[in-house]
Structure formats: structure tokens, C-alpha cells
Amino acid sequence: MTIEDFIREFTPADDGSDSSLPSQRRAYEALHARRRVADPAGMQIRDEVMGGVDVRRFRPAGCVEGNVVYLHGGGWSLGSVDSHHGITASLAERLRREVISVDYRLLPEATYAEALADCRAVVEAVGPVAVIGDSAGGRLAIDVAHTSEWKGLLGLIYPVVGTPTVETLGEDGPLLSRADILSLWQMAAPDAPDVDAAVPPARIIETLAVERDPLTRPLEQAIESWRRNGASVGYRCAPDMVHAALHGHGDLPEMQTAWQDFCQAVERRLDGES
């Protein structure tokens, strides 16, 4: 698959059909259901409730100690443990650790504070060695790290950092524009914690960005600040890739390489290597 094929597949149809949020959610879930591949051999998967929140647990064959909590993307209003099933299964297999995917409440039915509370509840119940999130889930992971007693490795995949503005964001990408981000941020902002974006959310952070994404510029600027303030931050950027391309990590060579690099870096950190 080429990146242009991926963009076409993930671009919403502009055919005058129902554009309501329930319809968007159904389309989002259906798209990812079509792309879902078979689970890795020996992977144990079960749904349960943890800390009062629905989760899905992925336990790979040969699992080692130390759970990882995963917070899915989707602009805080889309997404679920189903839509990100393939990503979390792949992460569990690559890290050789159990990954717990959080089905936090979505906006606008819930507030950002309630979504964050769900994520914190699971983190506090599990005490994971790492919290990893993509996109909107990356921002939730940052805010969990800033507002809880949890200490561990923070993994961020094209996250929303700081306060997005037209001036701070990069150029529009094929699947995500500055206007998209600002519109979504308006829903979250009233209940988002007031934290200094220059303060590292964790002591050890691994990050993954993509080249054609307006969120990459503010992430790179945040990384510079985090490093100056004492955090150890790993960074890689997948060339020519776009926001949401993690869902194509099995088909897009550049994303596959970046995803493998990210997972290997997280694994080395968790194994105590430099």
C-alpha cells in the first residue's frame, strides 16, 4: 500500500450522507474493523472492568512482568478498544508485555475531565510500567502523567501538546487540518488541566511523529523544552507519513519501520537499557 492509497481509504466520503456524530462513529469503527488482521498466535485477549472502567487486556505469549496502559486516539469523540485493537495487539506482541487498552468515555457526552478520570482510574488500579497513547490519547497520557502519582515511561504517538493555535501548529496534513485540531480542542479545553507545556510530563519519554501532520511542529518544540528541563526523550519521525498512519503500520513500509523503532526503544527502556 502507498501512502496515497491509505489517504484515499481514510478520507471520509463527501457524498451528502449522514454526517452526524453517531454516523461518524459507526463509519470509523467499520473502517477499522475492515482493516483488522488476525491476532498474533498465542495472544490472550479478554474484556473486563478495571477501576470502574471498561478495558481490553492483551497478554502475549511469553509475557514478561510489567503492564502497559494504552489510551486510544480519535479526537476524544471517536475510537474505542475495538478501533485500536490491531495497534494494541501489535504493541503487546512487540513489547512482550500485557497491554491494557482503556475504553474511556467520549466527548461530548462526557467531559474531558471525565475521560481523563477514566484513564487515571485504570492507571491507578494497574500501576503500569508505561502509559502510551496516540493522538488525543497521547494528550490524555500527558495529562495523566501531570496530574497523578504514577511514575513510569511515557509513550506518545503524534500527541496534542500544549495549547494548539494557528500559530503553533504546522501546515495542514492530508487527514488532519489545523481547523480540525482547533475545533476538537474547543471541546476538551474547558476541562483540560492547566499545566506548563515546557515541564516534562515524565522523566523518560519515547515519541513517534509523522512528517505530514500539523501536530509534529509543536511536539518537536515541546521535546526541546522537555530535554532542557531534564527529561530523557527519544524521537523519531516517519517520512511522508500522515496522521492516523499508525493504523497502516502493517502495510506502509515507512510507518512499519518507525513503529518498530518506537516499540524497540520502549522495550529497551523498560528492560533497563540506555
Q: Write the pLDDT tens digit of every residue in 209-259.
A: 999 999 999 999 999 999 999 999 999 999 999 999 999 999 999 999 999
Between CA 127 and CA 149 the distance in angstroms is: 10
For residue 74, give the nearest of 138, 141, 118 by alpha carbon.
Answer: 138
Place of cell 477499522: 32
> Judging by beta carbons within 10 Å of its beta carbon (0-12, 13-18, 19+), is residue 274 exposed, middle or buried?
exposed
Mean pLDDT, range 135-163, rounded to an integer: 97
**pLDDT for 274 beyond 70:** no
Q: Write the pLDDT tens digit of every residue in 172-188.
A: 999 999 999 999 999 99
**pLDDT for 208 beyond 50:** yes
Q: In sequence order, which ranges of the chain are alpha helices (DSSP H)? A: 3-10, 21-35, 85-95, 112-126, 136-147, 178-188, 216-228, 253-270
The reported pLDDT for the residue numbered 15 is 62
Instruction: Tell me how crowded residue 121 is: count the other CB atoms within 10 A of its CB.
Output: 18
pTM: 0.96
Between CA 9 and CA 233 the distance in angstroms is: 33
> Judging by beta carbons within 10 Å of its beta carbon (0-12, 13-18, 19+), is residue 72 exposed, middle or buried?
buried
Q: Write the pLDDT tens digit of every residue in 2-23.
A: 999 999 999 987 666 778 999 9
The distance in angstroms from the start CA to the end CA of the chain is 35
